Structures are given as C-alpha cells and as structure tokens.
Amino acid sequence: MTPTKGFLKGEEEIKNNLKITLSKFGSVISFHYICIIIIKTNTMKTKRQLAEKQIELQNRVIALANINIVTCGHCGSVLLHERNDELITCACCKHELDQSDCPDLWYEGCQNNSEFDEEEILTQEISVEDVVRVAMDLGMNPSIAEINEVLKYYDNEVEEDPTATWDLIVENLLYNCVAPK
C-alpha cells in the first residue's frame, strides 16, 4: 500500500512526534516500522464501510456475470440466479418463488440499517506504544523482534481467551517472548 500525498506532507511532523513519544519509553523503533502501523491503522474499516464494499462487490457480479445473489423468501438460504429468471427455485427448500419474493443479499441502502450503526473500528489491534508501555511496567526492555512477536500473536491470544484484558494478554506474550536479561 502506498501512502497518500497528504500523509507524506506531514512526514516530518509525524517523525518528530514519534521521536518524542518513543523517547518517553526509552526505546528506539524505526520510523519505517511505525509508518507501517500508522498505514495499517488508517485502513481499518467500520461495519458500514465493510457493508458498502459488499454492495459494491455484489453490483460487480451482477454487471459482469448477469447473476444476482439473493436470499430465499421461504427459508433464507443464499441463492444465485440469472437476472432474467422470472421464477427462482430454492436449492435448499425446493420452493419456487417469484423474483420479488427473494430479496437481494446486499442492496443499495442496507448499509444504513441499524446493524451497521456501530461506528467502532473493527479491530482489537494494539500498537507498539501499548506493548512498550506494558513492558516498561514489567521492567522489561523488549527488542523490536520481540515486540513484533507480541503483535504477531496478539489476535490469536484474544481468540483463545476473549475475557482477558488487552494488557494481560500483552503481559503474557511478553513473558513468553522476552528472554530474561
């Protein structure tokens, strides 16, 4: 992914802010590594944005293949049908339905439904700063490679123990990754 020109315009300011932030933690982390995290953070999507992408993809399927993706009005199964079909027979419940009885799986406007209202970013990602803060609280000085290990395995640990707090997960990963000095 290439950063936008607007991002590059503020590169010096970002570098200076990061140097100040990182100097507080006593760790030196390369600017390149931080840029990757910033770019990744800026590309996270909301539920609404993800729904809009689904609508776009479905519209491309319709335009390119003349095939629509609908749900069965009787059992709710997802079905594919040619757009010129007047009747659709469900492969699951075998009901024959009129096209109007089978709503599109994704349709323009559904992204405005209440199920997509939550505008939280869909991620449980942590930053380098978070890892360094926890490490300092524990009296550790992890290397960049060890920080990478924590970031790499964080999502897996969240899935293993969804009730754990983020800092406890980071602490456990640090104890597993950082060799005693």
Predicted confidence at residue 159, as pLDDT, reads 81
Confidence at 38, pLDDT banded by 50, 70, 90: very low
Beta strands of 1-149 (E only): which ranges?
A: 67-71, 78-82, 87-89, 96-98
Predicted confidence at residue 127, as pLDDT, reads 87
Which of 8, 160, 115, 144 lies closest to 168, judged by CA? 160
Q: Where are the domains of the chain?
A: 5-44+123-177, 47-116
Which of 151, 140, 150, 156 lies closest to 173, judged by CA? 150
What's the one-letter identity of residue 6? Answer: G
| Residue 116 or residue 35, greater confidence | 116
Q: Is the pLDDT of residue 29 over 50?
A: no
pLDDT digits (tens, 9 = 90+) for 52-63: 999 999 999 999
pLDDT digits (tens, 9 = 90+) for 90-131: 999 999 999 999 999 999 998 888 888 764 444 467 888 899
| Residue 156 or residue 42, greater confidence | 156
Residue whose token pair is 């931080």: 34
Q: What token pair was written down for 38?
A: 């910033």
Predicted confidence at residue 114, as pLDDT, reads 82
| Residue 65 or residue 2, greater confidence | 65
3-state secondary structure 75-90: CCCEEEEECCCCEEEC
164's CB contacts (< 8 A; 6+ apart) are 157, 158
pTM score = 0.44
**Helix or strand run (H / E) with residue 67:** strand 67-71
Predicted confidence at residue 102, as pLDDT, reads 94
pLDDT digits (tens, 9 = 90+) for 133-173: 999 999 998 888 888 889 888 888 888 887 888 889 999 99
Confidence at 17, pLDDT banded by 50, 70, 90: low
**Strands 67-71 vs 96-98: parallel, antiparallel or unpaired:** unpaired
Q: Is the pLDDT of residue 26 over 80?
A: no
